[in-house]
Structure 1
Amino acid sequence: MDIHRRNNVTVTGNPAGPAVVLAHGFGCDQNMWRLTVPALADTHRVVLFDYVGAGRSDLSAFREERYSSLDGYAQDVVEVCEALDLRDAVFVGHSVSAMIGVLAARRAPERIGALVMVAPSPRYIDDVGYHGGFGREDIEELLASLEANYLGWSAAMAPMIMGNPERPELGEELTASFCATDPAMALVFARTTFLSDSRDDLKTVGVPRLVLECTQDLIAPRAVGAFVHAAVPGSKLVTLEATGHCPHMSAPEATNEAIAGFLADLR
């Protein structure tokens, strides 16, 4: 299988620099990192890709049984790293991709040498002693609404996820990204994302890691950032002066500065 075509792999930046892999979240694609790439390109080899079912990936490669688990997406990451023969790459994962990165690093530790977790959440549903931000009924209702009317759900939810109502163009861009995704494939990814529980997987992280949270985030509230930081020994937690769930779009300067500082510390 041509992994480059399957995952619409793009490689840019400094070919002699260490590799950084940028991974998008649910309903997005690699274009969401366009404000981060220039901040890394001079010093790093920057790898972008689309998960199967998103962006310009090969939709014919989508298999529900594979992508009904975060492990399926993690396998995509490993195969992209293998196709490019990456070693000790820094994996920057937004939202659910932060957890996908944890799984990929455990599966192929020689390929991924550090993790940057942007607005991560290991579990979206509240549990005893854990605040994920949603009740189970909330998530079931969210998924039912998505299945019944994906375009309507996207138009309503994307601006809420993005936050920053004073900058409606951000919500409009995320809405357009959601709406460009095949509804059936989006539903599979949504169920995989919002019903996942990766809390125990955090204990397996054995590489340097940076956790980035926002001051206000509907999807991953600060209690979640604190949980991830506490669960991953040696991690660094940075609270960005940003609102919403997509700081790489709404506050790229602060996000890029935090990532660049972490990368500099790794040298």
Structure 2
Amino acid sequence: MTIDVLVRNNVKVLGSGSQTIVFAHGFGCDQDMWRYIVPNFMDNYRVVLFDYVGSGQSQIDYYDAYKYSSLQGYAQDVLEIMKALDLRDAIFVGHSVSSMIGMLASIQSSNYFRHIVMLGPSPRYVNDLPSYYGGFDRRDIDELLEMMQMNFIGWSSYLAPIVMQNSERKELTDELEKSFCSRDPHIARQFAEVTFLSDCREELEQASVPTLILQCSDDSIAPVEVGEYLHAHLKNSRLQQMTAKGHYPHLSQPEETSRFIKDYLQSV
């Protein structure tokens, strides 16, 4: 059976520029999370949006627990989407875990990528002290995964305000919680495990595509030390500190997020 990749991943193509920009959502989200960013790029770029299998309006029938037991399975899907659209030299904007998914894809086939923009990235979430601080002890991650297993709704309402980090804007936290809750619990838990236990540090030296690292302030998922580590180990990388708080600046500060992406693309 031939897989229609564009249907499988609910791919949307907008805008009409000669340069293509691909927006890739993070864990527990879908392409709708980019809705405040996309209008800022529609006039000058061809914009590509998609949902990972198991997220948003993707075709859940294609979910394969073995394939998606590592980030490489998701990277394979990114390359299949780019191939199906016949992309070359695209700009890839990845939020959170999608930063590493995009990087892994670029290591396999760099010709698809001109630049990568990493929004709140982390090559490893678990601490590996004393040499590496990722922000979480392994015990923290295990407890989070156990909570997902035992009480998925409770986990969603617990995590959303912590990662959004904009307590005065309850509507943002509510949206994120709703997004978490709309996932299939089993798929969400596996994606969480694959995300939070991933370790892409060794692959960093293989990456060659010029990269912008957007580091949020007060980010409970990807602390400042992580951004600095990435910048130190990624060739051709630029680190930009944002005023946006939390882990979802494309929701909380879309203007600043868009501005930094545009400034970077105009300067390289």
Q: What's the TM-score once normalised by structure 2's chain length?
A: 0.97
Q: What is the rounded CA distance, in whole Å, between the counterparts of 1:147 and 1:263 in structure 2?
A: 42
**Contact 2:15–2:44 under 8 Å retained in 1:** yes
The structure 2 residue matched to 1:137, chosen from 136, 139, 143, is 139
Q: Which amino acid aligns with 1:111?
A: Y
Q: What is the rounded CA distance, in whole Å, between the counterparts of 2:85 and 2:161 in structure 1?
A: 35
**Contact 2:209–2:236 under 8 Å retained in 1:** no
Which residue in 2 is equivalent to 1:78? 79
Q: Is residue 184 of structure 1 aligned with residue 186 of structure 2?
A: yes
Deviations along 1:27-48, one digit per CA (max 9) or x if unpaired, are 0000000011011111000000
The structure 1 residue matched to 2:174, chosen from 172, 175, 179, is 172
Query: Matched residues, percent identical?
Result: 51
Deviations along 1:4-62, one digit per CA (max 9) or x if unpaired, are 11000000011x42000000000000000001101111100000000000000000000
**Contact 1:105–1:113 under 8 Å retained in 2:** no
- Listed as ranges, the matches of 1:80-229 within 5 Å are 80-128=81-129, 129-229=131-231
Q: 1:151 Cα shift?
A: 1.2
Q: Which amino acid aligns with 2:266?
A: A
Deviations along 1:195-224, one digit per CA (max 9) or x if unpaired, are 000111111111111000111100000010
**Contact 2:24–2:50 under 8 Å retained in 1:** yes
Q: Which amino acid aligns with 1:158?
A: A
Q: Which amino acid aligns with 1:92?
A: V
Which residue in 1 is equivalent to 2:66? 65
Q: What is the rounded CA distance, in whole Å, between the counterparts of 1:244 and 1:9 in structure 2?
A: 27
Q: Which amino acid aligns with 1:79?
A: E
Alignment length (residue pairs): 265
- Match of 1:64, SS state, is coil
**Contact 1:117–1:211 under 8 Å retained in 2:** yes
Q: Is residue 257 of structure 1 aligned with residue 256 of structure 2?
A: no
**Contact 2:210–2:235 under 8 Å retained in 1:** no
Q: Which amino acid aligns with 2:65?
A: E
- Runs of 4 or more off by more than 4 Å in structure 1? none
Q: Which amino acid aligns with 2:141?
A: I
Q: What is the rounded CA distance, in whole Å, between the counterparts of 2:158 and 2:141 in structure 1?
A: 15
Q: 1:233 Cα shift?
A: 2.1
Gaps of 5+ in 2: none
Q: What's the TM-score once normalised by structure 1's chain length?
A: 0.98
- Match of 2:118, SS state, is strand
- Match of 1:110, SS state, is helix
- Match of 2:72, SS state, is helix
Q: What is the rounded CA distance, in whole Å, between the counterparts of 2:236 and 2:18 in structure 1?
A: 26
Gaps of 5+ in 1: none
Q: What is the rounded CA distance, in whole Å, between the counterparts of 2:211 and 2:78 in structure 1?
A: 17
Q: Which amino acid aligns with 1:161?
A: V
Q: What is the rounded CA distance, in whole Å, between the counterparts of 1:77 and 1:234 in structure 2?
A: 22
Q: What is the rounded CA distance, in whole Å, between the counterparts of 1:159 and 1:3 in structure 2?
A: 34
**Contact 2:121–2:227 under 8 Å retained in 1:** yes
Q: 1:125 Cα shift?
A: 0.4
Q: 1:186 Cα shift?
A: 0.3
CA RMSD of aligned residues (A): 0.8
